[in-house]
Amino acid sequence: MKIFQTDYSRQLIKSLDVAEKTQEAISRNIQNMDTPGYVRKNTNFADELMNVRNKGLHTSDEKHITKTKLNITSENGNQGNVDMTTEMSEMAINQIKYNFSIQSLRRVYSGLKSSITGRVQ
């Protein structure tokens, strides 16, 4: 049903997929930090999320945040070396983004539930 598949809910679901990929890359980096010759995997999937966002959603106001305003880059300057502090920081940031997406998606479905049942919790 179209009511359950809005652009906003699809974007939130894609952001959860991006958070999952980020978590996997961070875990791989931590797991292999002592492996000789291991090259750190990029954990910035912001470009992928922006591509998904740009396919379905468009800004309606010039004040909305865009990729150029965020100045997001796809490459991390730390090539080859895995720094535990960096990885843990990225993991914490990823967790915050994941929690935000989950809470937002929960609000979307809570609103639908209220509309269907006619009761507000």
pLDDT for 80 beyond 60? no
- pTM for this entry: 0.64
The DSSP annotation for the chain comes to: -GGG--HHHHHHHHHHHHHHHHHHHHHHHHHTTTSTTPPPPP---HHHHHHHHHHH---SSTTS--HHHHT--S--S--S---HHHHHHHHHHHHHHHHHHHHHHHHHHHHHHHHHH----
Q: Is the pLDDT of residue 67 over 60?
A: no
pLDDT at 28: 92
Per the model's pLDDT, the better-predicted residue between 103 and 121 turns out to be 103
At 76 the pLDDT is: 41
For the chain, which residues make up each domain, given as ranges? 2-117
Q: Rounded to whole angstroms, how far apart are CA atoms 15 and 97? A: 8
